[in-house]
Amino acid sequence: MNVYKPTRWRVFAGVWIQSLFTSATAFFSLFSLPLCNRFNWSSSDFSMAYTIYMFIYCAVGFLGGILAEKLQPRVAIYIGLALFSGGWILTGYANTIPFLYIVYGVIAGAGAGMIYPACLPTALKWFPDKSGSISGLVQAGAACGPFIMSPIAQMLIDNFGPQTACKILGVVFLIGIGLVAWMIIPCPDGWVPEGWVPSKSQSQELRAKDYNIPQMVKKPVFWVMLFMFIFANAAGTMMVSATSPIAQNQIGLSAMTAALCVSLMTLFNMFGRISFGFIYDKLKGWNSLILVLLINGLSMLMLTIAHSYVYFIICIALVGFSFGGLLVVFAPMVKIIFGSKYYNRNYGLIFIGYGIGAFVGPKISASFYDASGSYVIGYIGSAILAALAILLVIVAKKMVVKMNSYD
């Protein structure tokens, strides 16, 4: 394959655009009231569809990674796209909760889960000289999706109804992602940018031993990193999932102002994704990961004494900023530890930790609030999880040094 200078930027553009479309599904809550009112569903039953979606999304990632490596990234993307867009179109025909769980939760979730590990790891392979900044920019594209697509989705719901809106969006996703999938091609083994002189740490990364999934799961550091990812994501989602009720119950804000707080935290989340990409390239992986978790833990402790609006905004800005940086920093770390050859599938497998953390975190936060009537215990629990994650990062770093010395 002939590799020209614009090739990797074409890959980046394709990955960024697909990220914008697939992440836009975060606006699914817009369909809650219209569909619940139409079919007399409870909001809790409806929200379970998104929980199933996220679980399946994370669980099938390694399959997309395997397809991307054995065939082509675009093959995995097209298969995932058929499921993703098909699931959205079929959601437009859902008139029962079980059918909604199948078409949106399972089918659309599996499609998105196959697309993600075929894209981000492929892009990072093309940019060994700037893994952090590219990871940050791609993840920022994911944050832009809901901003851009939410008003469009709401307009479709208002004008055509929720079911027709789902069908239209399914077609939009099919066309939008389908048009850019051809741009995402695999990076040749051993390829580096022309004229690039890697630093000492970058040279070590390029020489990292390649582990496939059976070899990777036998390494203790895999399990340490998996649990670190679970703890870190649970710590973040304990707050992120409850921003609006916290703003109203703890700070005494109106529902409209609480919604503004959610938007502000989302904005800082996007800013954190971009910033930590460049921070990663300066501080490198382990230090960046510790910084993400340190900011997250401190912001949670700050929330225990949050009573004023301005102070609360500062707290949620730090929460959004740090939580946005987590995926950005973690993604290239998998390649550093386990090599680039099987990066797509390895990242897809370890990404399961994200799903577990996202499922457990909100449940813990809600349980603490129901038991005590306060969010303070949840903040402290989140800070403890962040501290445990930092300890696991330190342990993992030592294990990697030892593992590389043996290899």
Residue range 38-57: average pLDDT?
A: 83
Task: Answer whether residue 85 shows pLDDT above 90.
Answer: yes
**46, 100 contact by CB (below 8 A):** yes
Closest by CA to 113, choosing from 155, 70, 152, 79, is: 79
**360, 352 contact by CB (below 8 A):** no
CATH fold label, 5-183:
Growth Hormone; Chain: A; (1.20.1250)
**Contacts of 240-246 spanning 24+ positions with Cβ under 8 A:** 240/265, 240/319, 240/320, 240/323, 241/361, 241/362, 241/365, 242/362, 242/365, 242/366, 242/369, 242/375, 242/378, 243/316, 246/303, 246/375
Closest by CA to 122, choosing from 33, 214, 19, is: 19
Closest by CA to 106, choosing from 82, 133, 87, 81, is: 87
pLDDT reported for residue 24: 66
* The CA-based dihedral angle spanning residues 75, 77, 79, 84, taken in that order and rounded to the nearest 10 degrees: -170
Residue range 55-68: average pLDDT?
A: 85
Q: How far is CA 41 from the centre of its chain?
A: 29
pTM: 0.80
CATH fold label, 204-406:
Growth Hormone; Chain: A; (1.20.1250)
Q: What is the pLDDT of residues 357-398, one digit of tens each?
A: 877 877 777 777 778 888 888 889 889 999 999 999 999 988
Radius of gyration for the alpha carbons in the chain, expressed in angstroms and rounded: 21
Residue written as token pair 């895999």: 222
pLDDT reported for residue 407: 58
Task: Answer whether residue 93 shows pLDDT above 90.
Answer: yes
Read off the pLDDT band of 109 (50, 70, 90). very high
Closest by CA to 91, choosing from 74, 70, 75, 106, is: 106
**128, 97 contact by CB (below 8 A):** no
Burial of 228 (0-12, 13-18, 19+ CB in 10 A): buried
DSSP codes joined into one string, 225-259: HHHHHHHHHHHHHHHHTTHHHHHHHTS---HHHHH
**225, 331 contact by CB (below 8 A):** no
**240, 375 contact by CB (below 8 A):** no
Cα→Cα distances 295→36, 275, 289, Å: 38, 14, 10
Task: Answer whether residue 201 shows pLDDT above 70.
Answer: no
The total number of residues shown for the chain amounts to 407
SS3 162: helix
Tell me the C-alpha distance between 110 and 360, whole Å: 20
**86, 111 contact by CB (below 8 A):** yes
Tell me the C-alpha distance between 205 and 196, whole Å: 14
Tell me the C-alpha distance between 250 and 303, whole Å: 10
Q: What is the pLDDT of residues 111-163, one digit of tens each?
A: 999 998 888 888 888 888 887 888 888 888 877 777 778 788 888 988 999 99
* CATH 1.20.1250.20 location in the chain: 5-183, 204-406
Closest by CA to 271, choosing from 320, 330, 333, 312, is: 320
Residue written as token pair 């889960």: 113
Closest by CA to 110, choosing from 56, 164, 49, 167, is: 56
Give the side-chain half-sphere CA count within 13 A for 351: 32
Cα→Cα distances 201→284, 286, 340, Å: 8, 12, 15
Q: What is the pLDDT of residues 21-39, one digit of tens each?
A: 887 666 777 787 788 889 9
Closest by CA to 67, choosing from 80, 54, 84, 51, is: 80
If one counts every other C-beta atom within 10 angstroms of the C-beta of residue 216, the result is: 21
